[in-house]
Structure 1
């Protein structure tokens, strides 16, 4: 059963938000109540189809990996800090890595500068040398698994395919033969009976990652290169700025025969940085002697593939996704989900051994077709108001501005959208029944339902984290107050009941508080209260107008816009009102902030190009990017939760 916001796990970790989900598990942003720090909590749940013996082996393997990776301590590796069983699940706790993935950087900027890529490569190769010296092979290096921190440091995450390796006994200790991502996986990673992965397999994957970073294009998969060797394009053909020395080093790392690659991570570092000469084998066929050019030299293990499908990412070999996290840092790229998996260092007592799941003979199959390649992770989406169809409608657009779709498409006015925390529903207000009421629909625009029924106006809905209630503002008592509608029976409760105006409610991620805007002091300020309306506290208390509070996903900060500097600008503060920081500084108006689900960026409305459009930026105010380009007016952006795709 999925964990819920506010739930305390193992008497220590309070769940704050779902960060990502994959086959048989999920990653949550959580709060360590002992140390008062944010963490990433990965929950692995067993596949119901797997038999008890397999599940026991999987749990044992997962625990061993946790013990191995938890012992790794390197500045360019993610760390495991805790491991425990929780009901039917196994849980890992990891440090929260700040930044955005290398995949995001490439997606946004294309081919990256060689000097920068080589510096990242130097640090990653140092991390790999550290891992390999301790008998740990990563086996899933790719741009999505490299996080670039605000300090421009690469951090390697997702040890989900980790293998314990002994140079004297190159047998795997994994339960399933997880294959990695085709563009970055070496051919031996698919081998059922012949070659096995060793440290040179990681060097292939890093070489493919560097190829992608320097050219802006992922390389051909190993299987395609064996089938069509003439179609492989060297890096300098795509990016002439790449130096011959760097190209030679990458091609050496990408050799299909494992024996023709660099022997160690240090050798590759020396080759890329010019401290040692590099040569590459010249051959016309990727196959071994006795094979025709282009014929495959490996076969799929049916038993491994069947088990992988059976447990669908349970414990080992799962692509669990979680966004790169930031507490107060910036990221250079738009967000896509990031695979993060931690497991620990090699203990001398953990002698490598094969864990056999089945003794069934392993037949061979031809290489997978293109349809077997996993889909590219989906960008997050933003819903917003727009007047582009000559009345206000609710639209959805990719976070990079792609594929805008009208979700409401009604002659009346629809606006003020709000995502449910699980990403399944969108609430909004509409005057389609003669006055403004609260409605909700599925995230694709279907199943529209009216939730309030009052002659007064109800608008500005905000979901409770558990999806059972909606807060909204209404003037049904003569002035604007905050109300809550219970979605089970549509009963409505007034929770403010104050002679001043209270507006724009925003539910905290832990479900305990509601932020709102009020003029009870004579000026518009950001307030916060308990869910029932008790203990209202003025957080800003400023003579100028403060509007539109938006909680960060971990509940630690609140963004808002303010006119305290003469025009609407974006600010952020701690949830207790301290540590105020101005984020934007532009002659135009910037307003209505919304956090991305990973807490890395803010979407907002601005008229800096002459009309209202949707923009995104890092949460320190840097890297502002315009998302929409329509002169009709786009406002009120709200970022989708992690896990939503369309």
Structure 2
């Protein structure tokens, strides 16, 4: 570049350089003024390393022109706008939208780790920009905090498509050369394999990890060490990510075929950003009823909603104490279809039921009395409770479906009766198993040695399909449990307490996962009984699973709603 000071240099007789604003791996960025349109712009000056041959220099210039074409085709608010590209001194200069903002990298260094909700908002803006780029056939290939600008109101803008690839463009990367930042590059690219949209999503996951933890999990002192970590090491679990944990873990699956896709990640990020505040989470809605008041509820607090992809559904979780293996207890989920209805809707439904009952009573009274003088009415009789028809058990379709046996009026040997203190259900509890705790998420029971546990949760009303909600929810569950592997997801074709071959009123989700003490096994059965929604979740070491499930057979077989 000629020895001209900023303010003197005029590019293409139009763009006057004003001041230097930043430097990246491929060049320097200047604030400039467009003398024709009278507006400030950003100009990227491409600076190539010394020692390149003429052929290599030509290739790099072609790369820069390609960057301009790539970014110019992306008309999206989350992608920096390219206005023009000019050639001067035999090399390209890219004219772009000027955004007065700090980079995300600067924000993290100056402010430290970001709160999960703020990180989720920034992440979903980045995801929207990447999704638009992928739809246009463009891969970014260098997503990282320094390539994200945060403007006023945390508007996130993705910049520097300097190593982007576009469909139809021939590759300009030298054979064996990996472009991008090692601590943010996807494993498949670190191995020299073909990149795809999932590769950008990996980098987004690492960026969100850096937002909440303050650094990339693969950050090392040497670039090669970072590449080795990306390929062969699992990242340390994030400790400050809160509800972002399932998203981060889903995006950081090393196999791109198993990596969380943009649609699922976007939905989960939307849920986090739109989630109610802690204050609203602690507000309990009370439904009005004319029935006699229930027994006084024990004093309890309502914890914040558990981390995960829950939307507007009520999803109980286990207590936050340590699990039998010593690590914080996982959060088993009540199927989303067991969500409650609003108080207003409950009042409306109650009013409709009363009107129908009165109408039926009038018809019956008129038919039996033959139009004579009415007698004083007696106390109204409540309508009978709806009951759930069950099928006769034939053969268990899953290895984990509890065997069936007729319940006995008296407790069989090795069991003792248990009645929910709130009067919602009764069952037989194996001897040695004891109630452990109770909170707004359910009741908890522990085995004699504490290695296994059961959670029983209840909702007043249930939604339409247990199986459908399990199918929708399972992808998020994969992100919550390390080493998640599905064993079974399907309708409860036979078994207790409810069998339903259609899966509408009863469905099982069974999986195994890694814990500090070894491999764990879990079964969560959601079902409808007497119009109420229930879930019975069992957690036990995988090596003891068959024994534990056999021991809990009386509990499943005898469970009754009261």
Is TM-score (shorter-chain normalized) higher than 0.5? no
TM-score by length of 1: 0.39
- The structure, 1 or 2, with the larger RCO (C-alpha pairs under 8 Å, 6+ apart) is 1
Larger Rg: 2
Structure with greater strand percent: 1
Structure with greater helix percent: 2
